Amino acid sequence: MCLPFVLAYAAFGQAESTNATAFSRLEMNIDARGGADVRARILERQMPGPITPVMQHLLGCAFDNPKDRDVDGDWIFAGRCGGAFRKRRLLVAGELQFTPLMEIL
């Protein structure tokens, strides 16, 4: 019997905010087949446009039906990328390129 597993990765960054305890957040859940569910909330930040291309570069794959929008002054991104990582036996591996995301922040 094979049980699926999920790995979770979260990155936090201090945002310039009126709330001193507020953080922007990047959350990534990786499944056993190498797919990734990604959610980002960038606090009180005006983006020059959608960040979907930046997130695709971060993971190196295209998202299925991404949600990319401004909500009450915060920028919200959510999407699923089926081929973000490679699976080899019991290992799931891949690389993340944070440079483009850091440049827009």
Instruction: Break the chain into its structural domains and give their ranges.
Output: 6-104
- Give me the mean pLDDT over the 17-25 stretch: 64
C-alpha Rg value of the chain to the nearest Å: 15
pLDDT of amino acid 21: 54
In residues, how long is the chain?
105
In this model, does residue 40 exceed pLDDT 90? yes
pLDDT of amino acid 8: 44
pLDDT of amino acid 66: 94
Residue 23 confidence class, pLDDT cut points 50, 70, 90: confident
**The residue type at 105:** L
- Give me the mean pLDDT over the 79-96 stretch: 88
